[in-house]
Amino acid sequence: MSNMNTSPTVFPRTRSKNLHIALWVVQGLLAVLFLMSGIMKLAVKMPGMEPAMMYIIGTAEILGGLGVVLPSLLRIKPILTPIAAGGLLTIMILATGFHIMKAEYSHITGTLIFGIMSAFVIWGRTKKEIIQPK
């Protein structure tokens, strides 16, 4: 009789430094883009949009821009980072629909790119490079 071990081999989870860096870069870009966009929506009246709606969207973008970076950076409730990215993804899906309704097709590329970036953060921070709280 041979003494063979039939249990499956378990490999320890290895961190990918490149993925970790890519996630931080994308998180930083999303933060800057949404903070600027949110501030602009609060400061400038845009034609074709109700002021109350602009304040709601601008506030949501500012909070999402902060939320996509600060919880992970401070390591205080870092699970809020992918949740904030989910909020930004939702905003981008709605923005895509808005631009299609208004026949503003040139804006759709940006909303799709920012949506994909948000989805990348959700995936990366929930499945691959999870930041542990303090």
What stretch of H or E contains 1? none
Distance, CA of 80 to CA of 121 (rounded, Å)? 11
Q: What is the pLDDT of residues 37-77, one digit of tens each?
A: 999 999 998 777 788 999 999 999 999 999 999 999 999 99
Hey, CA dihedral for 130, 57, 66, 24, is it positive or negative?
A: positive
pLDDT at 9 over 80: no
Distance, CA of 106 to CA of 129 (rounded, Å)? 34
**Contacts (Cβ under 8 Å, ≥6 apart) of 56:** none
Q: What pTM was estimated for this model as a whole?
A: 0.84
pLDDT at 4 over 70: no
